[in-house]
Structures are given as C-alpha cells and as structure tokens.
Structure 1
Amino acid sequence: MSSILRQHAEEQFASELEELIKQDKNVKPQNWQLSPQAVVTYLVGGKLSNGFEITPKYIGSRRLMEIAVATLTTDRALLLYGLPGTAKSWVSEHIAAAIAGDSTMVVQGTAGTGEEAVRYGWNYARLLSAGPVIDAIVETPVMRAMKDGKIVRVEELTRISSDVQDTLITILSEKTLPIPELNTEVQAVKGFNLIATANNRDKGVNELSSALKRRFNTVILPVPSSMDEEIAIVQQRVSGFSKAMELPIERPILEEIQRIVTIFRELRAGVSIDGKAKLKSPSGTLSTAEAISVMNSGLSLAYHFGDGSLKADDIASGVIGAVIKDPVQDKIVWQEYLETVVKQRDGWKDIYRACRDHV
C-alpha cells in the first residue's frame, strides 16, 4: 500500500495505462502515448482484446468524452464547463494522464492568480546578480507543457481576473509564449494543448472575453442523468477512498449510498422520486461530489468512532451539512423535507430519527 495520500491518476492507474499502450494499434497524434480511441476507452472503461478490464473513470455519455478528446487533437483548447461537483477536474486530470502520462502540469485559478503564474516568473536573486537571462526565468506549468508537447490544466479559469485570462490568447492562437525581456519566445511543441475548467455558478465573476472563448471548444459536463448512474459513480469513488485510506467496510454500503443519492436528487429537482410531493430546493448544489464526501465522512466515523458498520447516524451530520448552507432558509427547507418525505418513507425511520436529532 502506497504511503502517498492521493496518487496522481497516471500512478494510480499505471497498470491500465501500460496495458492500453501495449494493446493500442490505432494512430497516435504526435507526443501522445495513446490514440484518441484508447484515451476514451481509458475514460469510460471497457474490455481489451486480451480480456484486460479497464475501469471507468467517467460514468456518463461516451460521446461527450469523444468530443473532449477529439478537441485536443485540433488547435483549439478544451473548456470543461458545468455545475460544481460534476467531475470537471477529475476528467481533466484523467485526460492529461492518458494523453501525456503526466497530469501534474496545473495552474490553479484564484482571484489572486497573477500573470507570472500563467506565463513565467523570475528568480529575483538570479535576476539581481546576472540580469534578465534565460536561467533567471521560473517556468510555469504552461511553459513546461509547451516545451515538452504535453497537456496543461487550468483549474477554475473564471476565478482568474480577466486581464490575466487574456494572457492565454497568444499562447492558444499563435502557440507561442513571448519573452520580451530577452527578445525571444517559447514555441509550443506538437502535442501541447490546454484543458480549462469552469463552474457555471461562477458565471459573471470573470467572464471570458469573446477572443478567448473562440480559442476553446466547450464541453458541458451534466449532472448524472439517472439515479443508477449517480449511485454507480458514488459507489466507485467511495470504494476507491476506502481502499486508499485503509478503511475496511464491514457490510455492503449500497443502501446508504442509495438513500443519500435519493435525498440529493429529490432536493435538487424540487420533487420527490414518486412525483407526489413538491419540494423546496436548498441554496447549495448537492452535487455528486458532495454525496461522495458525505459517504467518506460516514465511513470514517463508523470505523474510528463506531463498530465499523455504517449506520444512519454516521451519515446524518454529513447530509445535513451538505443541505444546510444558509442556516435560516435551508434549515426550513430541510425540516419540511424530513417531515413530508423522509418520515413517511418505508425503511427510513432510522435516518429520519438520526437527521431530526442532529438539527
């Protein structure tokens, strides 16, 4: 068992990538370790010709993954867009791992991300002693990806201020990074491209300029379309978490996953699964990622402070924390849902009591 808390995708799934590389007979774009078809197989899973099983990393529309991967074979960058918790970062990491064998070239977008985090910075000690020379430049992930012909990821692009965003325009259109201080430039090697992610909850924060939008092909990642799909996603990710954290699962956890996913889907949709009860929706997103987090927290509680068997009381606080973001309005929404839906549902008395006692 690795002592690393969270391995990069290319390390965690190294055996799958290795097998795909061996079996891949399709044409690979320059500096790609896999063909586009094999990259999609890595993402959505499948069985290879020798019987080797590739686990799905993205459970959803295969066509969306085909469009995303095909975009990266062109001169346009890829923007993964959608609600928080729809696996945008997860997908971008795995695409980079499959294409380049390296998902670590990342720029994390925040309100404080400056131009030097996107283009390049300076080693000021070297700059003072030797002046503006090439050795004084501090390379960014963008610059390294351009030099090596790899994929760079920009997380939360719309959190970055507009003037910093626009430093990407020349990089994406001309495939060059000018260094005016040295009267030179870095030219991108074939294989270079960029994957950005953005939340539609951030719409209006730092809108992309029309010039920058034209450099991207946008793929919208939706919330899981069906209950079964969302349950499968949560089950897969929770299983991976339990293995990584060495938390033994004393009994099947599918029942608790089903209940959490049902609660989240009903509150998101504003109607009960059977369509009989109209519900108010809370202010939070209640995403699949939050359902995974609630389950992981519950498993940890059960293992460290219980008998190892996951119970309703272990997940109640996590569910309430995910639902009640506004302590006034969301609390009312949650209490109404408890009384009108959860209390009336067969087999849910334990979770009703646990949630009622925690509010």
Structure 2
Amino acid sequence: MTNRHQDHDHRGAAGSAVTDEALQRPPAEVRYAAELAALRADDADPRPPGWQLSLRAARRFITGDPETGIGRKFVGDTALVERALVTLATNRGLMLVGEPGTAKSLLSELIAAAVSGDSTLVVQGGAATTEDQIKYSWNYALLVSEGPSTRSLVPAPMLRGMRDGLLVRFEEITRCPLEVQDSLLSLLSERVVAIPELAGAEGMAFARQGFNVIATANTRDRGVNEMSAALKRRFTFETVFPIADLDTELALVETEAKALLARSGVPVAPDRDVLEVLVTTFRELRSGVGHDGAGLDRLSAVMSTAEAVSVAHAVGVRGWFLRGEAGSAADVVTCLAGTAAKDNPEDLARLRRYLEQRVARRSGAGWRELHQARHLLAH
C-alpha cells in the first residue's frame, strides 16, 4: 500500500517546495505516513521507552494487517521481525546478515520508521568511511573563529541518534575498516559519545531512551573486514533468507516494479507473463537448479529479488519509451546482459548457455520469445 501526501514537502536549494511525487525514493515514514499515523492513534499496547509504536503495532506495520488496511511491506518470516523488534527493545544492537538483495536494508528502514518515525539516520559503510562520518565532525570556519563549541559541532548520525533517542542504521558495516567498526564499541556498551574538545557536561553526549543500532552485512563480504569478537558480542545476529516461494517472489517483483515504473513516468503495468519468465530465470540461475530438477551453471553475479525488480523496471522503461508498450521477453535478455556481466566474464557465457539449452525446452510464448532473443547477448 503506497500513500501520497500532498501536504508533506521538502525544500530544494532554491527554497521552492518539492512534493513527495518529485522525490525519487521518499523514506518509509513519508511513503507510509498515513498508516503510521493510524497505528499510533489506535495503539493501546505498552511501548518500550522512546518508541513511537508498541512491538505489536510495529510488527503489523512491517508484516501487514489486512483487517485494518495495513499493507505488507516485508515479505519474510514474521518470527524474524518479532525477534528483531525484541532485540532493539533491549540494549543489544541488531545485526541483519544475508545474501545481497534479500531486503536487509528495507527491513532496517521499516523498523526505524516504525520505532523512531525517522529512518534517515544512516551510515553507509565502505572502505572510505571514517569515524567522523559516524560520530561527529566540525564546521571548520566556526572552529577557527570561535574555537570548539556546540555551534561548531556537526553531529553525525550516531550522535544525533543518541541525543534524540532514535534508531541509527549502519549499512554494510563489514565493508568498513576494523578500526572504524570498533569505534562502535563504547557507543553500544557505555551508551555515550565522548567529545573531548568540549569542556564540562557538553563533552559527554549520553544516549536517550529509544536509541539503538541496526547494522547490515552481506555474506559475500564475509572475511573482507571480519568483525571483532568484542563487537559481535554487542549485536544479536539475524539471517535474512531469499524468498523461497515463486508466487510470493513474483507478486513482490510485480508490486515493486509497478511502483518504480509509475515514478519513472511509465503508465502501463508490467506484463505478468514477462515477469514470470524473468523471476523464474532469476530463481533458476540463483539456485543452479532448472524447472526439471536438473542442475545448471549458477551465475556468480547477484541474482536476488532486488536485482529482479531492477531488471523488471528496466524492461518496462525500455518497452515504454522506445516502443510505447509494456516490455517484452526480448527486453529481458537485453537487460539481463548488464546484470550477468558485473563480476565475472564467464557469467555471460553461462547465461548464453542457459538461454540456448534450457530455455529452448520450455513451453509458452514468453519462453519462446526469450529463446529467440538470445542473440541479443552478443551486443
């Protein structure tokens, strides 16, 4: 369920109002503002300190509640959502791990929107991430003219989350250098940020009720910057698995692709048969098992649900803006080439063999069109 809220706007650089419809991807608390407001109004259950919703209301927001018109936003294990919420109601951080594209970031965003009403306190992990980007930095013009002060202090997401009692999201934490990761140790254990440049009480920022950390890490990065044992002890680990059921994954890809196409100015919905061919292809290349149970060459590239949504979006954009239609199975071949060629040149050869040998055995107009368009991989 997607809501449009004309009264909520953001200000651009020139000061003019920018409506939600102009945003490429509004945060969850904006997209689902009406649902969050309704849940808060009807929520009579006890809430953990600093939370905007009770655990049961937060669970309904994430997993859906048809009786009250709350749409399902995370297609996954409800028990996983419950365990994640319980963890965040304690003083332990939450670590979501899993294959790329299994909606770890989406789940962390939805949880932050439900618990704090703000999912935008995000640290994006990477090789260039520094401790300043996690805790705080300085406005150097003010620092030179006035010296260290609260005016010259520029709080980063972690300091803002602690001061305001909000959840902070740390994406792809294992991509950060070990010394950067370990800067979280005192934050998660002592619940305080020391600012030695400031004197007196202003030099210690203590966490308010509601503060906690949701981190994500994908299993393909394991071993790159392995977390220290001390940091692991401060998190509860939960694994997010790929969607097991074809119909569930197909429905999710269709819903997400429709939303993305609408934002891209494409007024036609994706063709259901084309989407079924696309999602089935992704599942077979991801698992290494064909529809007949026989093994096939798996691609080393990420063939996740999120990647399937991206390809479905590209297929719809290509079909509409080039030919004025919804997109075809031939467009799937063209768009798949970019997905398969990301990491390993051999993946393109594996995809070509799949189209030539496996798809040729499938019945249906969509599969025939997919097979006939296999030559497009050469371009």
Whether these two folds match at TM > 0.5 is yes
CA distance, structure 1, for counterparts of residue 336 and residue 305 of structure 2: 12
How many Å apart are 1:182 and its aligned residue?
2.1
**Unaligned stretches of 5+ residues in structure 2:** 5-20
Are positions 1:295 and 2:312 aligned together? yes
Secondary structure, counterpart of 2:151 in structure 1? helix
Q: What is the CA deviation profile of residues 160-198 of structure 1, one whole-angstrom value per residue up to 9, with x for unaligned ones? A: 111011111000001111112224210000000111111
What residue number does 2:183 align with?
Answer: 167
How many Å apart are 1:258 and its aligned residue?
1.3
- 1:118 partner amino acid: I
CA contact (8 A) 2:173 2:217 kept: yes
How many Å apart are 1:307 and its aligned residue?
2.4
Q: Which of 217, 222, 226 lines up with 1:203 in the alignment?
A: 222
What residue number does 1:96 align with?
Answer: 112
CA contact (8 A) 1:60 1:229 kept: no
Are positions 1:314 and 2:331 aligned together? yes
CA distance, structure 1, for counterparts of residue 155 and residue 239 of structure 2: 31
Are positions 1:343 and 2:367 aligned together? no
What residue number does 2:213 align with?
Answer: 194
**Unaligned stretches of 5+ residues in structure 1:** none
CA distance, structure 2, for counterparts of residue 328 and residue 157 of structure 1: 28
What residue number does 1:77 align with?
Answer: 93
- For normalisation by structure 2, the TM-score amounts to 0.90
Secondary structure, counterpart of 1:166 in structure 2? helix
Secondary structure, counterpart of 2:174 in structure 1? helix
Secondary structure, counterpart of 2:29 in structure 1? helix
Structure 1, 191-200 or 321-330: larger mean CA deviation: 321-330
What residue number does 2:290 align with?
Answer: 272
CA contact (8 A) 2:355 2:370 kept: no
How many Å apart are 1:320 and its aligned residue?
2.5
CA distance, structure 2, for counterparts of residue 269 and residue 110 of structure 1: 28
Identity of aligned residues (%): 41
CA contact (8 A) 2:311 2:336 kept: yes
CA contact (8 A) 2:169 2:215 kept: yes
Structure 1, 181-190 or 167-176: larger mean CA deviation: 181-190
Q: What is the CA deviation profile of residues 247-298 of structure 1, one whole-angstrom value per residue up to 9, with x for unaligned ones? A: 1125x622222111111111122121221x3201111121111100000001
- 1:58 partner amino acid: F
CA contact (8 A) 1:150 1:193 kept: yes
CA distance, structure 2, for counterparts of residue 332 and residue 345 of structure 1: 20
Q: Which runs of 4+ in 1 moved over 6 A?
A: none
CA distance, structure 2, for counterparts of residue 309 and residue 174 of structure 1: 55
How many Å apart are 1:74 and its aligned residue?
0.3
Are positions 1:254 and 2:266 aligned together? no
CA contact (8 A) 1:260 1:319 kept: no
Q: Which of 234, 243, 259 lines up with 1:224 in the alignment?
A: 243
Structure 1, 20-29 or 312-321: larger mean CA deviation: 312-321
In the TM superposition, what are the counterparts of 1:1-359 in structure 2 within 5 Å? 2-48=21-67, 52-183=68-199, 184-249=203-268, 253-275=271-293, 277-325=294-342, 328-347=345-364, 348-359=367-378
CA contact (8 A) 1:338 1:356 kept: no
How many Å apart are 1:201 and its aligned residue?
0.7
- 1:296 partner amino acid: H
CA contact (8 A) 2:250 2:275 kept: yes
CA distance, structure 1, for counterparts of residue 344 and residue 180 of structure 2: 36
Q: What is the CA deviation profile of residues 51-81 of structure 1, one whole-angstrom value per residue up to 9, with x for unaligned ones? A: x311111111100111111110000011111
CA contact (8 A) 1:142 1:152 kept: yes
Figure out how many residues of one structure are paired with residues of the other and give that number. 354
- 1:136 partner amino acid: S
Secondary structure, counterpart of 1:325 in structure 2? coil
In angstroms, what is the RMSD of aligned CA positions? 1.5
CA separation of 1:105 and 1:278: change in aligned 2, threshold 3 A: same
CA contact (8 A) 1:238 1:292 kept: yes
